[in-house]
Structure 1
Amino acid sequence: MKSCFPNPQDTNKSLSPNPIQPITISPSSSTTLCSLPDDLLLECLSRVPSASLPSLSLVCRRWSYLLRSPSFLSLRRLHNLLHPTVFAFSASDSGVFAASLRFQDDQINIHGLGKVASCLPFQIASLDNISHSRLSAIGPRIYIIGRNGLLCYDTWSGTVSLRSPMIFSRKKFASAVVSGKIYVAGGGSRVATAVEEYDPESDTWTVVAHAPRRRFGCIGAAVDGVFYVIGGLKIGGVTGNEFSRLATAGAEAHVYASTMDLYDVEAGVWLRSRAVPGGGCVVAACAAAGHVYILASHAVELSFWRFDARRQTTGGGGFGEWCRMKSPPLPAQVRLDSIVRFSCVGVEDKVVLIQVNGCIDDLLRRSGRNIRGLREGLILVYDSSRGEWSRGPDLPEVIQRAACVTVEC
């Protein structure tokens, strides 16, 4: 850039001095930070250290709204000030506990947050229900979606607030975030095929679509504006009281689904359903770096698959292409059965796989197995750029049967 100051060494140009008039600013015309327009104020706030954000969100409603806007997150991401963090929640009758797993500078560090809430509705705080809840993150807020209730945990302030529950009571359903809103599907017979949308700004739920099939125990993911409803129990041809009777009896009418339904949120249409190659039972799934990753169980082994969910690609491959990836290297003492379960979350270009045991006490009594070697909280990290798995730090022992989610904070 050319300097706006004259060059004192330049003798070819004569400068005629102009006296500078002093500028007087009256108190009424003074410029403050709050008087800046939203775009300039966002530029200033986006450069603030992360430790100061909780305090800034309490300054006024305008600042709180701007700090939780998509534009603020985009600017923080542009300035490399967002750090992906995995939060793991566990609940008991005494309260809700959480731990965070942070990825920064190729280092994985885990921090125990301890108890985050002690007075919660019984439907959410019970140990049996938190493992069936689904977690979704919008900005710094984590939404714990239970069967009959919804909690919002603010990672900045560490506070928990109660929000409006879903229209239909669901259990083991699919959930994902698309364009700042939460979408849920599946979760039982009474739900039928209704797909609900949650708007955090108005704290309201709305039925926006009906799924092509009913699923129970399904998993949700979202990439490029598409809501994926993956796996679970495929429910077909059974309704109402008949479904409840068959579910209680464990009838053969329930078949593990190795398929996924695709809902285009913006267009409001369902795309062609896709089947997981090789079949098997989908036990974990997540979205990461434009792909959907699926972990399938085949009774004696696990298979790990990647689905290309990018609808606009410039390189090789294309939307809908499947690729088998390297299976996770589980320790020898981890045996695939009804006791060992998994939770899967995406962190930028990485996939974090967390071992989440079932109700150990009851299952061990029935199976006669020794509890030794069944400590849960094992963490494996898959780096999609290198195609390799690595061992991460285990979750704290207080985090049992955890529900997990990734947050940019």
Structure 2
Amino acid sequence: MSETCNSRHFSWLMKSCFPNPNDNNSAVVSLHHHHCSVTTLSSLPDDLLLECLSRVDSSSIPSLSLVCRRWAKLLLSPVFFNFRRHHGRLQHALFAVSAADSALFAATLRFDTDSIWKVSVFLADNDAVSPPTFHGFPSHARLSAIGPRIYIIGRNATLRYDTWTGKVTGRSPMMFSRKKFAAAAVSGKIYVAGGGPKITAVEEYDPEEDKWVVVTHATRSRYGCIGASVDGVFYVIGGLKLGASGNELSRAATTGAEAHLYASSMDLFDVEAREWLRSRAVPGGGCVVAACAAGGYIYVLASHAVELSLWRFDARRKMGASGGFGEWCRISSPPLPAQIRVDSTVRFTCVGVGEKVVLVQVSGCIDDLLRRSGRFARGLKEGLVLVYDPVAGEWSRLANLPEMIRRAACVCAEC
């Protein structure tokens, strides 16, 4: 059967096998067709084959992709992902990606099944990604997930990690070399902004075409900013202005009013309309140290020298004029252990997992900090993981990151 056939042709084929009650020889003909024509799974049209494949367990997907090129291509299609979502076969999973000299490590935590981190090692599957490419990944990279695929975007390289098959492939790098930039997935594409002196270009990445294009220019350049998205809006949050040398932050800027404005503000870019909305400022000021999107809200963790505050911004534009778009609300701050000092040596990241917010300490060795300060706390390690439930309004603690996962970048993917 041709690979271009569809379900209508398949239905016609099935009907042709049914006996005709008005034909005396139908039994013989039907028997003849039964022995001479065999319908296999591979002979099914694409839509019926996808319906069957979408019901298999996720652990079997790597094997399915090896059957033939056609199956491998179908497993990459958005239709396959949508079928699995329709059948309830998708789960939210938190990924923490770390790098070694010759490989990448991924620690996975599935919220719907258990609370145990599972570590896997994956290598590149083609010559486009060599071990040296892993150097610097992903401590200064940004992660964005589109369906089950995670895009690891570095200064001069981009990798795609397929969470179903475990394969890593090289993709096209950004047009501009950026560091500590904002990145977020919006409507199936990835947007990046900031990350260098005088870099105002906002780039858009199309995964289907593997191509970067400049779609607009920001009104100000940011360094150390964070990206998030809700309802078709790309949020560029926090960050500072680079000094004239471009190599380090200007000391004057970090203490001036302009730097303060950058550090506690958000720029909003409407992707569909290709226009910038009115910027918003985090109440109470401070410096944004982590942010994410979850359940239609933007969550911003701000530092005030010796304490942290957590704010929630209503980003649900589709709720209408009465939906509260743009409203800020302060919520319970994360209960960090007393030994953790909020300074430049400790770095956090926020990840939205469904409706919940996960706060991960991704760098800064607490034991080293305590030794330098002459203190010691038994059992206190880096890799602290906290989760906030907006329904209960409470924080809880999950298992720490595995010891080999350090200076990680985190993201949530459906797989």
Q: TM-score range by the shorter chain?
A: 0.7 to 0.9
CA distance in structure 2 between the aligned counterparts of 1:267 and 1:34, rounded to whole angstroms: 43
**Structure 1 residues 62, 223: closer, same or farther in 2, change over 3 A?**
farther
Note the C-alpha offset of 1:139: 2.2
Q: Deviations over 1:354-377 (max 9, x none)?
A: 01224889x959x94358456211
Which residues of 2 match residues 60-75 of structure 1 at below 5 A?
A: 60-75=68-83
Give 2:249's match in structure 1, choosing from 236, 247, 250: 247
CA distance in structure 1 between the aligned counterparts of 2:210 and 2:118, rounded to whole angstroms: 31
Q: Which moved more, 1:196-205 or 1:23-32?
A: 23-32
**Structure 1 residues 315, 67: closer, same or farther in 2, change over 3 A?**
farther
Q: Which moved more, 1:38-47 or 1:281-290?
A: 38-47
The equivalent residue for 2:100 is 92
2:287, 2:302 within 8 Å by CA — same for their partners in 1? Answer: yes
CA distance in structure 1 between the aligned counterparts of 2:172 and 2:281, rounded to whole angstroms: 34
CA distance in structure 1 between the aligned counterparts of 2:49 and 2:42, rounded to whole angstroms: 8
**Structure 1 residues 56, 370: closer, same or farther in 2, change over 3 A?**
farther
The equivalent residue for 2:382 is 376
Q: Aligned residues: percent identity?
A: 64
Note the C-alpha offset of 1:247: 3.1
CA distance in structure 1 between the aligned counterparts of 2:321 and 2:276, rounded to whole angstroms: 26
Note the C-alpha offset of 1:124: 3.6
**Structure 1 residues 94, 64: closer, same or farther in 2, change over 3 A?**
closer
Give 2:220's match in structure 1, choosing from 213, 216, 234: 213
2:195, 2:223 within 8 Å by CA — same for their partners in 1? Answer: yes
2:155, 2:177 within 8 Å by CA — same for their partners in 1? Answer: yes
Task: Determine which structure has the larger helix proportion and give its number.
Answer: 2
The equivalent residue for 1:104 is 112
Give 2:331's match in structure 1, choosing from 320, 325, 332: 325
Q: Deviations over 1:203-235 (max 9, x none)?
A: 211111111211100001111111111111146
The equivalent residue for 1:392 is 398
SS in 2 for 1:262: strand
Q: Find out whether 1:313 has 2:315 as its counterpart.
A: no
The equivalent residue for 1:298 is 304
CA distance in structure 2 between the aligned counterparts of 1:77 and 1:323, rounded to whole angstroms: 32
The equivalent residue for 2:132 is 122
Note the C-alpha offset of 1:249: 5.9
SS in 1 for 2:208: coil
CA distance in structure 2 between the aligned counterparts of 1:393 and 1:315, rounded to whole angstroms: 41
Note the C-alpha offset of 1:123: 5.3
Which residues of 2 match residues 168-187 of structure 1 at below 5 A?
A: 168-187=176-195
Give 1:355's match in structure 2, choosing from 351, 361, 376: 361
**Structure 1 residues 224, 180: closer, same or farther in 2, change over 3 A?**
same
Q: Deviations over 1:112-142 (max 9, x none)?
A: 22x323884535423xx52111011122221
With structure 2 as the length reference, what TM-score do the two structures score? 0.83
**Structure 1 residues 372, 156: closer, same or farther in 2, change over 3 A?**
farther
Q: Which amino acid in 2 is paired with 1:260?
A: M
RMSD: 2.9
Give 1:201's match in structure 2, choosing from 189, 196, 208: 208
Pairs aligned (count): 381
Task: Determine which structure has the larger strand proportion and give its number.
Answer: 1
Which residues of 2 match residues 30-45 of structure 1 at below 5 A?
A: 31-45=39-53
Note the C-alpha offset of 1:169: 0.2
With structure 1 as the length reference, what TM-score do the two structures score? 0.84
Q: Which amino acid in 2 is paired with 1:247?
A: L
CA distance in structure 2 between the aligned counterparts of 1:44 and 1:315, rounded to whole angstroms: 43
CA distance in structure 2 between the aligned counterparts of 1:212 and 1:342, rounded to whole angstroms: 27
1:68, 1:140 within 8 Å by CA — same for their partners in 2? Answer: no
CA distance in structure 2 between the aligned counterparts of 1:157 and 1:371, rounded to whole angstroms: 45
1:93, 1:125 within 8 Å by CA — same for their partners in 2? Answer: yes
CA distance in structure 1 between the aligned counterparts of 2:413 and 2:99, rounded to whole angstroms: 19
CA distance in structure 2 between the aligned counterparts of 1:394 and 1:375, rounded to whole angstroms: 8
Give 1:159's match in structure 2, choosing from 139, 150, 167: 167
